[in-house]
Amino acid sequence: MQTYKYQNVFPKDETIKILLSELKVLAKERNSGVLSEELNRMVPGFGSVIKKTSRKIKKIDIENIESYKDFLLNISKRWENPKYWMTIKRANDGFTLSYVLSALDLEFNIEGKIVQKDESLRIYLPILLKTLYMAFLITLITMILAYPTSYYLASLPKSKANLLMIFVLLPFWTSILVRIVSWITLLQQKGVANDVMMYFNIINQPLDMMFNQFATIITMTHILLPFMVLPLYGSMRSVDQTYIRASSSLGANPFTTFFKVYFPLTVPGLSAGAILVFIISVGYYITPALVGGIDGQMISNMIEFHMRTSNNWELASAMGGILLIITITLYWVYDKLVGVNSLKLG
Amino acid sequence: MKKIVLAASLVASLTVSSFAQETLTVISFGGDYGKAQKKHMIDPFVKQSGVKVFFDDYKGGSAELKAQVSTGQVKWDVIDMEYVDLEKACNENLLERIDPSFLPKGDDGVDAKDDFYPMAINECAIGNIFWATAFAYNEKFIGDVKPTTMNDLFDLKKFPGKRALKKRAQINLEWALIADGVAAKDVYDVLETDEGIKRAFAKLDTIKDSVIWFDSWSQAPQLLNDGSVILAQAANGRLTQFTVVWDGQAFDLDGWAIVKGTKNLELAKKFIASSTSSVPLSGMKDVNYGPTRKSGTKLLTAEEQNKLPTAHLEEGFKVDSGFWSDYGTELNEKFNAWLLKK
């Protein structure tokens, strides 16, 4: 097989003979299924060709076959495609790039060059971009919600703030599953939110709020909100009030005081929260799996799918590696722009 | 002091493990089906043999099985498999071959090999139920017009609302073709061609936006119950409280298989022999699943037999496990790519 080049289109008889006799041994030991699954991962559809061929060859004496080429083509026309032969050749190498390429919707073509996959098979790159987009959106929403909340908490006397803090911490300590299921109860077709809005004639048809991207974003925002509130609250508490007073007494209006003095002092807390929320949501798995439907799935759900359902661990680890590299790169960019030393978790 | 505690706990752990009772791990699908199995198959076996049985759930498929066998960390002993998954797992050498000679005679004294329906004795499993994938509706939410055919599942005008389908290629592709006018008996011939596959996906496209895809069979009755969907696909035993539409039912078997490399091989066989004898098999009528022995069917009344999928064979088709063993991986990959595309 090593000597095979795609220009020859069909391999020599000796090559086919070796392949067939090896297949025969595998078929007798009932191991051909393992090979076919392996090859099927590299080229979808190859598995059934191998299975069919090995089932046929099991009953036939190889020496009696007149034309190997006709024999193979009789079993499946697909043997004519040099892609399959190239795959067998490539499967010989111990080290392969094809899974990493697969995770980026790329593949080797028959000439061994890296090309984009067929349009209908490109799924991983879009879902990776969607994951980053959703993580960014969730980070933004938690920022908008957490900033005024933390500001209010920080402006209260300590005893009162501690009491109110319980409302932030209580959900934080509640099981994630419980929180997700409560959102399902609220948002489903015949759920509380739809029923109330129908009752007050705000809508005439139940809205689709569950099992989609909307559900994923709203539920994850709720779950990750404390990760934003806590560092923000910490940094706001430690803002020295004399700066604010000094700014006002020097003639700054409230806006200027806020943007020039107060806000910059809370940036370490804000960025710490943002990094926490973003990194956690990029790899989040359970929420999209339960409420995301198809549209709200994230990259981690695909990794889980390949780990547990399709058993394509090679592809799963390639996808995990890419996700790790992206996260580290973003962290590095953050370090360059803002500086990790300024992080403050309260 | 620390050393003494350490030594004591070490001794304790050693004695515990050496005196541990024999434990058999049996894996099945849970839900009402699991409850019926516990009552009719597990509990009688525990009582009679004194073996402890750890009975747990899984979602189907062969991935976890493969992970256990290929890493040598075999934790399961006996596993309830759909025959569509069984064929593939058997080909991949993940299951022990079963020589059916250890199976006991039926209650009426007929030899096991004549008593079992022929399909039930598989190279890698012994059939424990006849069941069907069908779709059903909840009388509470359906309205005046009621679905009767496979067409209705794909008819959004006649039955607006969501449908729940299991997230996999199996059955869904067959149903799409049937709704598109292919006769049930020709489904697999059509699905073997590229045009057939395109045709099936094109039909699924027409309802794509109205489908909630579920992972585990137990989600289907839940979705029907709270009105999240108007029609749901499920194993017929999960649909006892709803109205089943038998048209296009996909008829199949489940069987007990033994995980390759288990340490409890003999115990596993004992369990299979006990749980597939006539009486336990007939008990599965609780969830409308049929016995795989003729002697088991004899124990049921005519009325009970009428509720089983076997009473509606002409309306559906037998799932072709050979087909799914050959094309399952490929079609499921296509299915997933299709699912994620807008």
B119 Cβ contact list (under 8 Å, min separation 6): B127, B253
Long-range contacts formed by A79-83: CB under 8 A, 24+ apart: A79/A49, A79/A53, A80/A10, A82/A6, A82/A9, A82/A10, A82/A110, A83/A43, A83/A110
Task: Please report the pLDDT score of residue B16 as a whole number.
Answer: 46
| Residue, of A138 and B85, whose pLDDT is higher | A138
Amino acid residing at A283: G
DSSP calls for B3-53: HHHHHHHHHHHHHHHHTPPPEEEEEE--HHHHHHHIIIIIHHHHHHH--EE
Task: Please report the pLDDT score of residue B19 as a whole number.
Answer: 45
Q: What is the pLDDT of residues A104-139, one digit of tens each?
A: 988 887 777 888 888 777 889 999 999 999 999 999
Name every chain A residue with its beta carbon within 8 A of the beta carbon of B340. 123, 126-127, 294, 297
Q: Please tell me the distance in Å from A36's CA to the nearest CA on chain B.
A: 9
Amino acid residing at A293: G
Report helix, strand or coil for A192: helix
Q: What is the pLDDT of residues A258-315, one digit of tens each?
A: 999 999 999 889 988 999 999 999 999 999 988 888 888 899 999 998 888 777 888 9
Task: Please report the pLDDT score of residue B203 as a whole number.
Answer: 96
CB of A17 closer than 8 Å to CB of A28: no
Written as six digits, the tokens of A307 are 């780990």
CB of B171 closer than 8 Å to CB of B60: no
Element spanning B298, H or E: helix B294-298
Residue B9 pLDDT grade (very low, low, confident, very high; cuts 50, 70, 90): low
- Cα separation, B1 vs A231, in Å, equals 43
Q: How large a percentage of chain B has pLDDT more than 70?
A: 94
Task: Please report the pLDDT score of residue A293 as a whole number.
Answer: 84
**A188, B162: Cβ pair inside 8 Å?**
no
Task: Please report the pLDDT score of residue B284 as a whole number.
Answer: 95
Q: Please tell me the distance in Å from B194's CA to the nearest CA on chain A.
A: 11
Amino acid residing at B80: D
> CA-nearest residue of chain A to B323?
A48
Whether the per-residue pLDDT at B152 is higher than 60: the answer is yes
CB of A315 closer than 8 Å to CB of A100: no
Element spanning B79, H or E: strand B78-82
Q: Please tell me the distance in Å from A45's CA to the nearest CA on chain B.
A: 5
Task: Please report the pLDDT score of residue A306 as a whole number.
Answer: 87
> ipTM higher than 0.90?
no
Written as six digits, the tokens of A209 are 């709020």
Q: What is the pLDDT of residues B29-75, one digit of tens each?
A: 998 899 999 999 999 999 999 999 999 999 888 888 988 998 999 99
CB contacts under 8 A, A 105-144 vs B, are: 120-121, 123, 126-127
**pTM of the entire predicted model:** 0.81
- Cα separation, B156 vs B179, in Å, equals 13
Name every chain A residue with its beta carbon within 8 A of the beta carbon of B228. 188-190, 210
| Residue, of A45 and B149, whose pLDDT is higher | B149
Whether the per-residue pLDDT at B139 is higher than 90: the answer is yes
Least CB–CB distance from A311: residue in B67, B226, B325:
B67
Q: Which residues of chain A have pLDDT under 70?
A: 1-9, 93-94, 342-346
Whether the per-residue pLDDT at B248 is higher than 90: the answer is yes
Q: Find, among B27, B197, B333, B327, the residue nearest to A311 by Cα.
A: B333
